[in-house]
Amino acid sequence: MGNYLPAIAFPTGVVISSFGMAWYNVAVISSTGSLYVWGYNQFGNLGVGHSNDIGDSPSEMGDNLVETMIGSGRDVMDVRGGNFHNCVLLDNWDMKCFGSNGWGEGGYGSQSSRGDEPFEMGNYLPAINVGSGKNVINMQLGYRFTCVILNDDSLKCFGQNDLGQLGYGDTEDRGDDSNEMSDYLSPVNLGVGVTVMECSDYSPTMAPSISVVPTLTIAPTYMPSLTPPTMAPTYKPTWSPSFSAAPTKAPVIYIEPDCKTRLSFEDSMCALSQTNFQMKCWGDNGSGKLGFSYFLFVNYYKNGI
């Protein structure tokens, strides 16, 4: 660890502004809104048009790391990972998902994976329809399911539901067949007078009431002035000037109680430096998700190895 732990190599000129972790891969957002993902890729989790892992072999990181394309002219504001799928929130408030979709966790009304074949990403990847006049303001991804908070503070979930994890009072999967998304998907009933509050909630001034999509102007100079408690995600307050004027809501359900750190999954952890913008990861390196271009457990041992 310490100085012995190398920083992850990214393409020349790429500065990382935030990152998200899934069970078997890591995704980062650059200062210009580009997305890079590496690690396990059997279901197209990386969104690069094939199913080969990235990060576990030489010449896969640094300038060889392929950008995950999410649509012409679009910037990524947030990225979240589940078990074998990832979702992004774009600067026009669209949400797109790629990777495993066998239980409808991608929200496309089918069971087909996306991102593991050519012509499935970029402009070919549609935005998820969460309802008429509704858009996503935050995402939470679990094991084979996805939950979203909408701009009316409602909560909708889709994907696997064998244990009732979607919260609809049954065990029926949602999002894997037609006529299960959009207005067909009802909000989760949290109780009378109960609303959802999430630490990076954009309400009450978020799209579709915003007539002009803000321009992503993140620059390396903006981060050193921030203290660690305000880092998740650091750029969002500049997108909504009235962000701090969130309405008082009682009672409140906190979906993510720790707003200071990005969640880690399985047996690995990543950290992003606020001073030199280097990213380091440690722990389980299965499928190369630590980005070291070789398979190694860093400070982590299993079965005596």
In three-state form (DSSP H/G/I as H, E/B as E, the rest C), the secondary structure along 142-188 is CCCEEEEEECCCCEEEEECCCCCCCCCCCCCCECCCCCCCHHHCCCC
Angle at the Cα of 115 from the Cα atoms of 113 and 119, rounded to 5 degrees:
110
Domain count, the chain: 1
Which structural domain range is residue 283 located in?
1-305
Q: What single-letter amino acid sits at 221?
A: T
Q: Which residue has the tokens 């244990």?
A: 163
Beta-carbon contacts of residue 228 (< 8 Å; ≥ 6 apart): 260, 274
**Model confidence at 160: pLDDT above 70:** yes
Q: Which pLDDT does position 66 carry in this prediction?
A: 95
| 109 touches 182 (CB < 8 A) | no
What φ, ψ does residue 94 adopt, rounded to 5°? Answer: -75, 150
Report d(CA 93, CA 136) in Å as an integer: 6
Around Cβ 220, how many Cβ atoms within 10 Å?
Answer: 12
Report d(CA 224, CA 227) in Å as an integer: 8
**Model confidence at 274: pLDDT above 70:** no
Q: What is the mean pLDDT of the chain?
A: 76
CATH number of the domain at 88, please: 2.130.10
**Model confidence at 292: pLDDT above 80:** no
pTM, entire model: 0.71
Residue 294 has, within 13 A of its CA and on its CB side, a CA count of 4
State the pairing for strand pair 195-197/252-254: parallel
| 15 touches 216 (CB < 8 A) | no
Beta-carbon contacts of residue 173 (< 8 Å; ≥ 6 apart): 103, 104, 159, 160, 161, 162
Phi-psi category of 264—alpha, beta or left, where left has phi over 0 and alpha has psi -120 to 50? Answer: beta
Around Cβ 6, how many Cβ atoms within 10 Å?
Answer: 14
| 169 touches 187 (CB < 8 A) | no
Lowest-pLDDT range, 66-70, 90-94, 114-118, 137-141?
A: 137-141
Report d(CA 123, CA 145) in Å as an integer: 24
Sheet architecture: strand order including 35-39: 16-21, 25-30, 35-39, 67-68
| 276 touches 48 (CB < 8 A) | no
Q: Which helix H or strand E contains 95, and what residues bound it?
A: strand 95-99
Report d(CA 1, CA 283) in Å as an integer: 10
Report d(CA 259, CA 8) in Å as an integer: 24
Lowest-pLDDT range, 100-109, 131-140, 184-193, 213-222?
A: 213-222
Query: Which residues face 89 on adjacent strands?
Result: 78, 95
Say if residue 220 is preceded by a cis peptide, omega within 30 of 0. no
Q: Residue 220's pLDDT band (boundaries 50, 70, 90)?
A: very low
Mean pLDDT for the stretch of residues 178-196:
85
Q: What single-letter amino acid sits at 225?
A: S
pLDDT by residue (tens digit) across 8-55?
A: 999 999 999 988 888 889 999 999 999 999 999 999 999 999 999 999
| 67 touches 79 (CB < 8 A) | no
